[in-house]
Amino acid sequence: MWDSTMFLSTLTPKFYVALTGTSSLISGLILIFEWWYFRKYGTSFIEQVSLNHISPWIGGGDTNENGNNSSNGSTNSQQNNVPECKVWRNPLNLYRGAEYQRFYWATNKEPLTYYDMNLSAQDHQTFFTCEADAGKAEYEIMQTAWRERNPLVRIKAAHKALETNPDCAPAYILLAEEEATTITEAEKILKQALKVAETNYRKTQQVQHQGSLMEAQHRRDTNVLIYIKRRLAMCARKLGKLKEAVKMFRDLTKEVPPIMNVLNIHENLIEALLEMQAYADVQAVLAKYDDISLPKSATICYTAALLKARLVADKFSPDIASKRGLTTAEMAAVEAIHRAVEFNPHVPKYLLETKPLILPPEHVLKRGDSEAIAYTFFHLAHWKNMEGALNLLHCTWEGTFRMLPYPLERGHLFYPYPTCTECADRELLPAFHEVSVYPKKELPFFIIFTAGLCSFTALLALLTHQYPEPMGCVAKSVLNWLSLPVYYIYEKVEGMLPSNLLQQLSRI
C-alpha cells in the first residue's frame, strides 16, 4: 500500500503554488473560450458537446438542434426604432356571461383584470356613444353603464335603458355579453339587437348629411350594427354552424368603416376556415393580409407557418433531415416557423403544452404573452389536427434564438422585440397566471462553473504564495480527510479477500 503521508511530506509550498497557479490558468483559458463561443453561437461549447455527443452514449434525453432555448439583449447600440406597445382588442374575445362567468363559478378565480375590462368600457363608450346622445335618457344610462365595475349594476342599467327605449341597441349588446349564460341565449339576444340596429341604421342613413351630429349618430349606428353582426358570426362559429359563420365573416371583411381597423375580422375568418379545413381559402386570406405594409399578428404569422408545415410535417423526421439535409419544402416550413417565433416567441410553449393555458383576455398586446394565449386558445386544435405539425415545431422553433443573438436591439424580419410587453401583459393577464417574458439568454452552467473554478483556484494560488506553510498544512489536512474513505474501503477489501490475490493484483 502506498504511503500517502510520506508522499505529502515531500511536497514543498512551491509545488502547491505551481499547482494552484496552473489550475487557475487552465480554468481561465477554458472560461475565455466558453465566453467567446457563447457570444458567437449563443450556447455553451461544453454543453453542446455533452448533449450532442456524450449524452446519446449514456442514454441521455432528446437532443434538439439548439441546446439553449433562450436569447438575450446586449449592450450594442439600437439600430431600429422600437415601436411603442399598443393594446389591441382580441378578435376572438369570449362572452363575459356565457364563458368568463362560468369559469369564475367553476374556479372562483377572476379571469379578467380590471385594467382589461376598463379598456373594454372605453371601447364601448367610443364606438357605441356619440355627441348626439346628449339629452337621451337611454343612451346616457348606457354611457355610465359601461363604466360600472359591478356586473349586476351594468345589467340592471341595460334593462332600465330598454324600459326607457326598446330600440336601444347598445343595451341589447350588454345583455348578450354579460347576462346570457349560454351562447344560445347570447345569440337569441343578439338577433333581437340586429333587428333594432338595422332599423336605426336605415333611419340615420337618410339624414346623415344634415349636420355633424347626425353624421356622428349614423357612425355610431354603423359601429353598433357591425359589432352585432360580428358577435352573431362568432356565436355561429361556437355553435358549429361554420358555413354560416364564414359567410358572415366574409361579408364583414368587405366593410370599410373605421371600426374595422380595430376588430380584425379577418382573423375570425382565418380561424373558422381552419376549422373547416379549407386550407386553400385560408391561403387566399393570408395572401391578402400577410402584406409587408400591413401590421402582423400571431394569427397571420403562425397560420402561414402551419400551412407550410402541413406540406411536410407528416413525413418529417429530425434524424433523417440531419443526415440528408432539409428539402426545399422543409426549409420553407422551418423558415416560416422561425419567422413566427421571431414575431411572438411565447406561442410555442403554449402550443407544445409546456406551459398551462388560461382564458384569453379581452385585449392583447401584439408580440406579448397575452397575444400568445389568445392565439393558442383557439388554434391549438388546428395544430393538433395536422399530423406532425407540432413535432416539426418542437424540433425547429428554438433555432430562432441562434439566428437572433440580440433580439432586443436587432431583429431579423421584424423590429427588435419591445421591452415594454412585460409590464402591459401583467396588467392584462390575471394575477394567478405567470406572465411569460422574452426568453432572456442565461449564462450556461459550464460558464458559471468555470468562472467559479477559475476564481477559486486563483484565490488558492494567491493564499499559497502569501502563506506557503499554513496553506501546505491545510492542503495536507484536506488530502488526509479525502483519503480516509479510500483507506477504509481498502482495509475492508483487504480483510475480505485472500492476501495472495491482492499480491497478484498489486503485481498486475
- Please identify every stretch of the chain with a pLDDT value under 50, giving residue numbers as ranges: 1-2, 60-83
Cell numbers given for 92: 376572438
Predicted local confidence at residue 64, as pLDDT? 38
- pLDDT of 444 reads 59
Concatenating the DSSP letter of every residue in 445-463 gives HHHHHHHHHHHHHHHHHHH
**pLDDT value of position 75:** 32
Provide CB contacts within 8 A for 325, sequence distance 6+.
Answer: none
Q: What is the DSSP string of 44-100?
A: -HHHHHIIIIITTTTT-----S-S-------SSPP-SPPPPP-EEE-TT---IIIII
Cβ proximity of 419 and 408 under 8 Å: yes
Give residue 54's pLDDT.
56
The residue type at 59: G
Q: What is the C-alpha separation between 26 and 18, in angstroms, rounded? A: 12
Amino acid found at 69: N
Can you list the domains of the chain with their CATH numbers? 113-266 (1.25.40.10), 289-442 (no CATH), 448-507 (no CATH)
Radius of gyration (C-alpha) of the chain in whole angstroms? 33
**Coil, strand or helix at 230:** helix
Q: Per residue, what are the HEC states of 205-222?
A: HHHCCCCHHHHHHHHHHH
Strand partners, 364: 88
| Cell numbers found for residue 174 | 350588454
